[in-house]
A = this chain, B = another copy of it.
Amino acid sequence: MSEAATGLVRISLDAMGGDFGPSVVIPGAARAAERHPDARFVIFGKEAEINAELAKFPALRDKVKVTHAEIAISMEDKPSQALRAGRYKSSMWMAIDAVKKGDADVCVSAGNTGALMVMSRFCLKMMPGIDRPAIACMWPTAKGESIVLDVGASIGAEAENLVDMAIMGSAMARIVFDIDRPTVGLLNVGVEEMKGVEEVKEAARILRESNLPNMQYMGYVEGDDIGKGTTDVVVTEGFSGNIALKTAEGTAKQVADFLKAAISRSFMAKIGYVFARGAFKALKAKLDPRRSNGGVFLGLDGIVVKSHGGTDPLGFATAIDVAYDMVKYELLAKITKALAERGDWVLPGASSSMVEAAGDAGAAQPAKAPTNGTEG
């Protein structure tokens, strides 16, 4: 964690990620740089394309360092293909590796999620004390925003993993919402006494009984509680989390499309639209996925932020904002501290994490060549 040393926030960018590569990444960086004068960028990708874009943003010139990368991971590459073809020499790998090497404090990529997660895990390894990575996203709610995790890093979760996610998500919430004890809910289904969610029940017991200092555990929440903003943090395993996220995105789009179609079918409604333009604009802004762009990979020994692949410079700048905040307000240190506090609270039946923590810590020592690690 060398950000403190320089006072700058150094962000590595995978310029080739996403549907539009440097033509979105560079203008996005330029926007973010205006908001954050202490941000610096180390950029990886096709040098010629990057420089052509950079020429349009002279204010960025002194704030970036460009390193050529031969290979660009495509949005269609399977994670294993991406790792085989792109390790060491792809812009994605190099951007992640900059964090590992200490040349950057955080990495942002709009590249494909599976490849980015596999490479991040392979390169950065897990944080000591954490078993599995999770992806946390910002979810627009009736009250503002909540953090939902995991939205697709891992499928299934043991109780211990869910507790870890509650801890990591709370650390992120303390930064994003600037509150001391964010509220946390475990996503569950409403029907009591159903079989098969033993992990969720056990996680609930641990969270309730351990009463951790940096969060308020509120109990179970259901699917409709997410949009209500019932809790600041919603924890679930990655399969249902991913389905919830995509279902919500789909539903919001469906409602908006239906409204648009209904209005365009009638002349009167079109007139109404003109009068109510402000309201429609507010709705559009509220539903704008660019405003909540930036999935944070949690649990790794380094921070990686995933931008939507199809976003524009405005959206990419939002993802950079998220990355900036995570460094500036010391996400990793907050998580590490919260994990240490958990140590005192670990209860019988939920004990394996400490052993694993010790094992992971050992694996992270430089004595073991990182290139021999084959996690995940």
Chain A interface residues toward B at CB < 8 A? 78-80, 113-114, 117, 141-142, 152, 154-156, 187, 189-197, 222-228, 236, 238-240, 242-259, 262-263, 265-266, 268-280, 282-283, 286-287
Closest to A187 in B: B243
Q: How far is the CB of A341 from chain B (nearest CB, A)?
A: 30
Indicate if the CB atoms of A191 and B113 lie closer than 8 Å.
Answer: yes
Known: A79-B193, A279-B272. A243 touches B243 (CB 8 A): yes
* Main DSSP-derived SS at the A contact region: helix
**Which residues of the other chain, B, contact A197 by a CB distance below 8 angstroms?**
155, 239
Q: How far is the CB of A228 from chain B (nearest CB, A)?
A: 6
A-B contact pairs, 15 of them (CB 8 A): A189-B239, A236-B243, A240-B243, A243-B244, A244-B244, A247-B247, A255-B255, A255-B256, A259-B283, A262-B280, A266-B279, A269-B275, A269-B278, A272-B274, A273-B276
Indicate if the CB atoms of A152 and B189 lie closer than 8 Å.
Answer: yes
Q: How far is the CB of A35 from chain B (nearest CB, A)?
A: 26
Known: A192-B79, A196-B156, A277-B272. A248 touches B248 (CB 8 A): yes
Indicate if the CB atoms of B247 and A155 lie closer than 8 Å.
Answer: no
A226 to B269, CA, bound (A): 28
Known: A258-B142, A275-B272. A189 touches B243 (CB 8 A): yes
A269 to B277, CA, bound (A): 7
Indicate if the CB atoms of A268 and B258 lie closer than 8 Å.
Answer: no
Closest to A285 in B: B262
Q: How far is the CB of A81 from chain B (nearest CB, A)?
A: 9
**Which residues of the other chain, B, contact A80 by a CB distance below 8 angstroms?**
193
Indicate if the CB atoms of B279 and A265 lie closer than 8 Å.
Answer: yes
Q: Out of B117, B187, B276, name the residue touching A272 (CB < 8 Å).
A: B276
Indicate if the CB atoms of B275 and A114 lie closer than 8 Å.
Answer: no
Indicate if the CB atoms of A258 and B239 lie closer than 8 Å.
Answer: no
Ranked nearest first, the 6 interchain pairs of A and B with the lowest CB-CB distance are A272-B276, A223-B246, A272-B275, A224-B250, A155-B196, A223-B247
